[in-house]
Chain A
Amino acid sequence: MNQKKVLFTIAKTHLLTKFRQTATAALGVTFGIGAYITLVCFMTGLNKMLDDLVLNQTPHVHIYNEIEPSEKQPVSLYKEFENALNTVHSIKPKQSQVRIHNALPIIDHLRKDENVLCALPQVRTQVFYVAGSIELGGTITGINIREEVEYFNFGDYVVDGDPVDLKNTDNSILLGAGIAETMSLHIGDRVQITSTGGTIFPLKIVGIFQSGIADVDNVRSFTTIKTAQRIVEGSDNYITDINLKLNDISQAPTIARTIERQFDLKAIDINEANAQFETGTTIRNLITYAVSITLLIVAGFGIYNILNMLIYEKMNDIAILKATGFSGKDVQLIFIMQALIIGIVGGILGLFLGMGLAHLIDGIAFETEALPTITTYPVNHNPWFYVIGITFAIVSTFLAGYLPSQRAKRVDPVKIIRGQ
């Protein structure tokens, strides 16, 4: 232990006498790690925000009845044409109901599955929003507002009004922001809705809904399941969609496939619906790490350089240390220690720099209509990034110091001393 201290003292003294070069090398590491922390905090914050934007409102499994053509046309059932090449032109979708058959027992069944966090019924239908003589096409969705708020953060997207009012007020509606703007409607106003059957319903606006996705906000509104069922003139068991939230999101595809087979329904899982988000996240992470690693490699070359220089300059010291009984390993350790001192000091400063910059970005105002819940730039302060950052610094400086130290280890003292 005492001997290590001797080596450490030598390492430290060398660095202190070359303070300017040491500081430059350490600053390289500082900027590398600082940039990594800033980038990774900002990028993952951004990722999380973008994912939340869509994934929060997207059910893990969405179950509905799809209108599609029959896979087996009647002709293929006809035995006489079994071996013939049959061509059917202009296939039309099969006549079927939009609602899910036996929806309530299915929901009960799904709720018993222990991986299912919640199963929420919805009633979705086409309507027209009527403003004087103008009719705007759109959809209205009947929901259980309390559960939607609890499981799908629905409250985040109600920018005006209280979502719970939907339940408390009869014949009420949460109007899409785009529609409200087009029709100049505000909370407390009434909006006329015409069902596809032609019946007119006057509904009271209790809130404005804004998802941040314009295409959605221009057409979609929400009401209670009961009101929606009245609009479609359906009974209590008229349910068009079931949304599942799972405890383990990775199980979504398996569960979706099971439901499709078991109930003969269409079930879309979240991975299918949002494959592009996964790609975006991966690419942003890739950029973050590519930039950070590049910066660290540059810093690594700085350290490599200063150690090489130091070894040339201290050739005599190395020779006499070896002559007086320090082994090659001891000498190597001196230079590895120097690399690590630079790495650790530079790395820790880098963590502080990164933390400062991340907090600075976190404080910058960032308001956009598309994202109603965001007021400042999104930053993800995950302590793990700091652990990764300092590990990064230590590993890269160790590698940068290893090669020069290997050379110092091999220095032949006889050659140096006789060469004088």
Chain B
Amino acid sequence: MAIRERLSGNEAISFAIKQVNPDVMPAFPITPSTEIPQYVANYIANGEMDTDFIPVESEHSSMSATIGASAAGARALTATSSCGLALMWEELYVAASNRLPLALCLVNRALSGPININCDHSDSMGARDTGFIQIYAENNQEVYDNFIQAYRISEHKDVRLPIMICQDGFITSHAVENIELLEDDKVKNFVGEYNPENYLLNAEQPMAMGPYAVSNYYMETKMAQNTAMQNAKQVILDVGKEFGEMSGRNYGFFEEYRLEDADYAFVIIGSAAGTSKDAVDKLREEGMKVGLLKLRVFRPFPDIEIAKALSNCKAVAIMDRSEGFRSKGGPLGSEVKAALYDYAKNVTAFNLIYGLGGRDFTVEEAEGIYKELAGYVEEGKSFEEYRYIGLRGESYSVTRTGQKGSVNDIKSERV
């Protein structure tokens, strides 16, 4: 029988870590992820798990030591947020290119400056091209479930890539919600033992890791990583299905919420999907055909699947919780628009920025955006895109008027 509990996101992922009982966890504290190493250290101190914790002196060292442990043949992980992830930058690439299936528990927080401890996705979105698998969660239940699936995905022989399990800082990490936990033995059976093929401490077969590779070899290593990322798609689906059979909670690349017959939809990541679902329910009651696509897996990017799911929509709002500073929106916007351009050109897509540095995003704001999408399509009204939702003061935006916004119809102005 599943265990009913009330936990925060940080407690939930720490509990999952305890159940998985990996070998080595180096970590350095940073708000709002600090509780994770604290909980783990407590579990160890009380004999509830036998992971070795390394209290390193920086996040660069936490990822470096995680890489060392993983290369040696151990199941390893670390946790961090924001500037901690930024300090690891170089090492994220090393972990991925060395094909180490380690896990990183990321609690999403805005990057400095100004220094800000609250949620946005600028940290993990900045790391989107490092070669990590990235899986996001809407709430504490998903964080827990995602971590339990993490090593099954990362360690799969067709994948062997590091994995980042993301949750929204404070909103998810610190808010206590009801949760269903799995029994220890179920988790252990599901995750299984880690038995790497090649590792430093294999006395029979020494190995060397981290070579200097000249132009004759470098490009092939990148293609090998890319192939692994492509393979990860099927593995993520298989593991999600198997997890669903065990837990009753199914996972794929994304959740489609009332999307099937929707004319207007959001594409959104993380906790704000919950807020937006309330808006969807309310507008559905009013007779508007609205829905939502909550993206769970950002790396690998399920472009065809997203385009297919959105292909019957008249207009979508792609909601970015991080800036791209190309002056035209964020990373989720770029990638979803590219997918639509390739596979569903009929869908009009707008990109909006919300929730930077923990700025509230409300049900009313979400409703307003859905109504604007309808106004654009049904009444020929203009739509201000790239703007910041809930900004105090002036917002740079581009106003798009005219269906399918041909280049001549677009004017760029401050609104």
**A, B co-complexed:** no
